């Protein structure tokens, strides 16, 4: 069936107008000019037929009058004394002008609103260079930005670009609320698909210095949501590589939930692309913290850009210095290990190991600019006798209040640290079939542990009291809802449980019970410290610290892999009774490092027992101290050491 003329005109007009705002503007302009010519021509024809209508004596004035009448109907009054025929053109000009100009004004208003909306969405091209690019958005992004701001303090100007599907105004408002001062770092947010090649080019991905790829859901999300997030992350990695013509040169740090998806990252065979298993790290941290108090504070300082950090340092000539003599050649720094490209990183190398050319030292220091290898050892440790004690390992009974996927990892990791016969009681209100199945699976997997699921509500004082929580060695407080995704709700429940525990322990009868809690929002740290909790792991904060450090130097991952592996060296906070027989001891930090070496350990710092509850004193943790500074060591103090085990 042949289309009618009307259908053809409608189709042509529809296609023409669909080309955008410029076509509409041109159409209105053409209509205006057409009517202007027609009305002017009609006025000229009337003047020619009726010369007495020529009021001005010059037709150019009539042309100007028509234009004024079309653009401003108020000018129609100039023809008040005209003949009725001339007034016809005046009325036509006014009506046509009102209609066309109204349409034009409406079009301009709509276009400006659309333009402003696009600006608010941040859809323009980002012209930054050497910036840190954050792809995706979750509750940890603000903490990542906070760490990067600290890392950028030594630069004149720095920038962080965030590309996510989140609304730009939402991102901007939250960042301004949580981070009112960004110092010398500019924060640029933009909305778009971070797995799209064109979007990545728009944010100048090839000019970035590193990329942090955030998961788009929380750890409490469903398996399908996590799977979707992992797929998007892998797609984004492939898009990043494509933008670089198939050869990646950028450090790319990605949050990946599923192990199979993390293994896919190995397909790229690129050391610069790191898939981070954040919850696995959290599980290991929970185990290590249950064995040694104060460890989270130590990690917070080492992982953060605020305070001392770990760096790789290389010298042209190490002058044949032995590794364990090396600390006394650095006024700032505690050497932790040696890195060589062919061997990798070796923490706590064997006694007598000497550094060679091209060796790099992994060193804990206040800043890379203060690391200086002196020409000679400026201090020597005293020869002190070692107490020679060891910590006896015993069975542990652990009470887990609530549940989260991190608890499963915790029990798995505990298998490498705790003795057979240790017990886990899991207190959870109305456990679903999913949790019951998980616990049964753990029982089969770890028959040497006593694992029990108790159907009681930890948020009720009577139920919690029936469990006699202070009869346990450790009490671990986790999320009270298996699928709760609100960080504030999880932390609020945690705070309530801590207050209930404090109520149950008014007489301090459970002083040997260590309470460990997982805090998701770093802003709740000050509130949590008011509950006398022994240790708290700020999950999001620690993960964001690791993300930020890896984005600055991917080689740091070798250090993380070692200290979070049960087979490698780990950081412990050990009582000073293992090192000294008499107290108090008034010695310098070099002497402390020297006596720790006798246990084949590296001393990173000390923890003052009398300050362990005081946040303003960093909970008693002092790392990378001045080696000539005199300190008093008392019986209730601890040494922070890099060691093979906790004994």
The candidate with the shortest Cα–Cα distance to 573, out of 378, 229, 196, 301, is 301
Q: 3-state class of 274 per DSSP?
A: strand
User: Distance between CA atoms of 541 and 555, rounded to whole angstroms?
Assistant: 21
- What single DSSP character describes residue 331? S
Which pair of structure tokens corresponds to residue 295? 């460890």
Which pair of structure tokens corresponds to residue 565? 């592996």
For residue 534, the model assigns a pLDDT of 55
Q: Are 485 and 498 in contact (CB under 8 A)?
A: no
DSSP string, 594-647: HHHHTTT-EEEEEE-GGGTT-GGGGGGEEES--TT-EEEE-TT-EEEEEESS--
User: Distance between CA atoms of 401 and 458, rounded to whole angstroms?
Assistant: 6
Pairing relationship of beta strands 450-455 and 158-164 according to DSSP bridges:
unpaired
Helices (H), 474-581: 487-504, 525-528, 539-552, 557-563
Distance linking the first and last C-alpha atoms of the chain: 91
Which pair of structure tokens corresponds to residue 376? 């000679």
For residue 491, the model assigns a pLDDT of 78
Instruction: Give the CA count within 13 Å in the CB-facing half-sphere of 634.
Output: 7
Give the count of beta carbons closer than 10 Å to the beta carbon of residue 283: 23
Main-chain phi, psi angles of 296, to 5 degrees: -60, -40
Tracing tokens 């100039």 back to the chain, one arrives at 78
Cβ within 8 Å of residue 434, ≥6 positions away = 482
Q: Which architecture characterizes domain 397-539 according to CATH?
A: 3-Layer(aba) Sandwich (3.40)
Cβ within 8 Å of residue 238, ≥6 positions away = none
Where do the DSSP E strands lie in 35-194? 132-135, 158-164, 185-191
Cβ within 8 Å of residue 598, ≥6 positions away = 386
User: Distance between CA atoms of 564 and 279, rounded to whole angstroms?
Assistant: 12
Strand order in the sheet with 273-276: 185-191, 158-164, 132-135, 210-213, 252-255, 273-276
* Positive or negative: CA dihedral 221, 224, 230, 232: negative
Q: What is the per-residue pLDDT across 82-110, written as a single tens digit (0 to 9) for each? A: 667 677 777 777 787 778 777 777 777 77
Among the four given CATH numbers 3.40.50.620, 3.40.50.2300, 3.40.50.720, 3.40.50.2000, the one describing domain 132-276: 3.40.50.720
Q: Are 635 and 572 in contact (CB under 8 A)?
A: no
Domain boundaries, the chain: 21-121, 132-276, 397-539
Buried b / exposed e along 95-112 (16+ C-beta atoms within 10 A): ebbeebbeebeeeeeeee
CA separation (Å) from 192 to 122, 167, 620? 9, 9, 45
The candidate with the shortest Cα–Cα distance to 254, out of 230, 278, 236, 276, is 276
Q: Are 99 and 176 in contact (CB under 8 A)?
A: no
Pairing relationship of beta strands 360-365 and 309-314 according to DSSP bridges:
antiparallel
Which ranges of the chain have pLDDT less than 70?
Answer: 1, 7, 11, 13-23, 52-57, 74-83, 85, 115-123, 220, 392-393, 484-485, 507-511, 521-540
Give, in degrees to the nearest 5, the angle at Cα 208 between 206 and 211: 105
Cβ within 8 Å of residue 375, ≥6 positions away = none
Phi-psi region of 532 (alpha: psi -120 to 50; beta: other; left: phi over 0): left
The candidate with the shortest Cα–Cα distance to 525, out of 513, 535, 512, is 535
User: Distance between CA atoms of 338 and 353, rounded to whole angstroms?
Assistant: 10
User: Distance between CA atoms of 7 and 127, rounded to whole angstroms?
Assistant: 47
Main-chain phi, psi angles of 384, to 5 degrees: -110, 150
Main-chain phi, psi angles of 328, to 5 degrees: -90, 5
Which pair of structure tokens corresponds to residue 128? 């930054």
- Does the bond joining 281 to the residue before it have cis omega, within 30 degrees of 0? no
Pairing relationship of beta strands 638-643 and 602-607 according to DSSP bridges:
antiparallel
User: Distance between CA atoms of 156 and 439, rounded to whole angstroms?
Assistant: 53
Same fold, 132-276 and 397-539: yes
Cβ within 8 Å of residue 480, ≥6 positions away = 401, 402, 428, 429, 458, 459, 490, 493, 497
């Amino acid at each position: 069936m042949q289309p009618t003329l009307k259908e053809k005109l409608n189709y042509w007009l529809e296609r023409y107008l669909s080309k955008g705002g410029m076509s509409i503007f041109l159409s209105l302009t053409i209509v205006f000019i057409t009517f202007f010519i027609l009305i002017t021509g009609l006025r000229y024809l009337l003047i020619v037929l009726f010369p007495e209508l020529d009021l001005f004596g010059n037709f150019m004035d009539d042309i100007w009058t028509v234009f004024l009448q079309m653009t401003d109907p108020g000018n129609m009054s100039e023809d008040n004394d005209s003949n009725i025929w001339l007034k016809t053109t005046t009325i036509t000009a006014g009506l046509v002008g009102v209609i066309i100009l109204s349409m034009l004004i409406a079009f301009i208003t709509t276009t400006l609103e659309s333009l402003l909306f696009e600006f608010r969405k941040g859809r323009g091209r980002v012209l930054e260079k050497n910036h840190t690019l954050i792809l995706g958005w979750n509750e940890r992004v603000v903490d990542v930005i906070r760490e990067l701001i600290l890392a950028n303090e030594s630069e004149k100007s720095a920038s962080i670009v965030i590309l996510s599907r989140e609304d730009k105004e939402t991102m901007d408002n939250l960042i301004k609320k949580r981070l009112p001062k960004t110092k010398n770092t500019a924060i640029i947010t933009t909305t778009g698909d971070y797995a799209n090649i064109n979007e990545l080019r728009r944010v100048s991905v090839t000019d970035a210095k590193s990329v942090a790829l955030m998961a788009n859901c929380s750890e409490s999300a469903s398996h399908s949501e996590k799977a979707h997030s992992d797929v998007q992350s892998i797609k984004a990695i492939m898009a990043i590589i494509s933008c670089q013509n198939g050869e990646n040169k950028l450090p790319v740090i990605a949050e990946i939930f599923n192990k199979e998806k993390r293994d896919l990252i190995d397909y790229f065979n690129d050391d610069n692309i790191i898939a981070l298993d954040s919850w696995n790290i959290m599980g290991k941290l929970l185990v290590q913290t249950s064995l040694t108090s104060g460890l989270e504070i130590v990690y917070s300082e080492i992982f953060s850009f605020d305070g001392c950090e770990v760096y790789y340092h290389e010298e042209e000539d190490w002058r044949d210095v032995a590794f364990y003599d090396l600390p006394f050649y650095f006024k700032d720094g505690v050497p932790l290990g040696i890195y060589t490209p062919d061997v990798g990183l070796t923490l706590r190398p064997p006694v007598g190991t000497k550094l060679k050319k091209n060796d790099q030292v992994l060193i804990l220091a206040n800043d890379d600019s203060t690391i200086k290898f002196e020409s000679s050892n400026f201090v020597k440790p005293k020869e002190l006798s070692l107490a020679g004690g060891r910590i006896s390992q015993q069975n542990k009974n652990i009470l887990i209040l609530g549940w989260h996927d991190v608890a499963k990892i915790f029990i798995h990791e505990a298998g490498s640290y705790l003795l057979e016969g240790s017990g886990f009681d899991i207190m959870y209100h109305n456990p679903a079939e999913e949790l019951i199945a998980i616990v049964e699976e753990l029982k089969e997997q770890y028959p040497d542990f006593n694992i029990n699921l108790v159907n009681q509500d930890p948020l009720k004082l009577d139920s919690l009291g029936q469990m006699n929580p202070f009869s346990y060695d450790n009490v671990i407080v986790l999320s009270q809802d298996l699928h709760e995704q609100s960080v504030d709700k999880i932390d609020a429940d945690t705070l309530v449980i801590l207050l209930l525990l404090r109520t149950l322990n008014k007489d301090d009868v459970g002083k040997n019970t260590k309470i460990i809690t997982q805090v998701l929002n770093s802003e709740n740290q000050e509130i949590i410290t008011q509950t006398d909790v022994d240790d708290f792991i700020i999950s999001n904060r620690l993960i964001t610290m690791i993300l930020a450090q890896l984005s600055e130097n991917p080689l740091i991952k070798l250090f993380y892999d070692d200290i979070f592996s049960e087979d490698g060296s780990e950081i412990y906070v050990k009582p000073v009774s293992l090192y000294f027989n008499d107290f108090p001891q008034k010695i310098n930090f070099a002497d402390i490092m020297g006596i720790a070496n006798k246990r084949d350990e590296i001393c990173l710092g000390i923890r003052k027992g009398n300050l362990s509850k005081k946040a303003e004193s960093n909970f008693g943790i002092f790392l990378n101290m001045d080696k000539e500074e005199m300190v008093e060591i008392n019986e209730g103090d601890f040494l922070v050491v890099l060691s093979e085990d906790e004994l």
